[in-house]
Structure 1
Amino acid sequence: MPEISVSNESSSTASRYSFADRITLTGVGCVGCHGVLDSEKKTGQPFFVDVTMFTSFCASSASDDIAQTANYAEVAETIREVITGQSVDLIETLAEKLASTILSRFAIDALELTVHKPNAPIEVTFSDVSVTIFREKQA
């Protein structure tokens, strides 16, 4: 398993990836049983994930071979596997699990990932709760 950086995104990291090739999946959703409340763990609720994966397209575009890139269909299946898997309390923990799993399975350099929890048990009107993280593989 590759070592993954858990430091916050720095301005030099952000600029390094600002012009990078990227694959983006938006709104990958399924039901998971994550949350602090027992009712969230029993009933489940929808979670949606947006992920932007940073990688070079040089090899894949030259070969026209899907094996040379991150197969976004497989990434979507990985997201479903993690969300429907073992329950966690915090969406921050879920985001970390998603990021580390995707980074370990696919030929990407870094990713930015957002987990949305639109049905969070909040007593005031809101449209969404989300967390966003940026992680990169370490050489």
Structure 2
Amino acid sequence: MSPDRITLKGLRARGRHGVLAAERELGQEFVVDATLFLDTAPAAAGDDLTMTVHYGELAEALAKVVEGEPVRLIETLAQRLAEVCLAHEAVCRVEVSVHKPAAPIPVPFDDVVVTIERSRA
């Protein structure tokens, strides 16, 4: 049986991540998508929020990471976000995408996205 999913899409937060000094000084908006894989049956059976992931609290925790300590690579940011998701005991696997739509690229583009998948060890 494959796990259920809780997905948070389009979380926006301002961060100062990037290789260039200007990115770290001025900051920019990042967009995060996170899909958590877990068994939601225990929560549903008892209508019990403590048996699942509170997605409102998750959104706040992920935004704090984006708004927090700057990193050079969005790969590093994605890893930190995945670790927050996996801190929830019920989560067995997570897929995190970090979008950087205002990346300093000198040609027209729509978005830059790094997507990682991590599992509980």
TM range (shorter): over 0.9
Among residues 36, 58, 63, which one is paired with 1:53 in the alignment? 36
Which AA in structure 2 matches 1:87? Answer: P
Counterpart for residue 5 of structure 2: 22
Alignment of 1:100-115 (within 5 A): 100-105=83-88, 107-115=90-98
The CA RMSD measured in Å over matched residues stands at: 1.1
Q: Which of structure 1's runs of 4+ aligned residues deviate more than 3 A?
A: none
Count, aligned residues? 121
Matched, 1:39 2:22: yes
Q: 1:125-136 maps to which residues of 2 (within 5 A)?
A: 125-136=108-119
Query: Are the counterparts in 2 of residues 55 and 107 from structure 1 also a CA contact under 8 Å?
Result: yes
Distance 1:102 1:84 in 2: 16
Where do 5+ consecutive residues of structure 1 fail to align? Answer: 1-15
Aligned residue in 2 for 1:120: 103
Structure 1 length-normalised TM: 0.84
Identity rate of aligned residues, in percent?
A: 46
Aligned residue for 1:109, secondary structure, equals: strand
Runs of 5+ unmatched residues, structure 2: none
| Higher fraction of strand | 2
TM-score (norm 2): 0.96
Residue 105 of structure 1, CA deviation:
3.8
Contact between 1:78 and 1:102, CA under 8 Å: does it hold in 2?
Answer: no
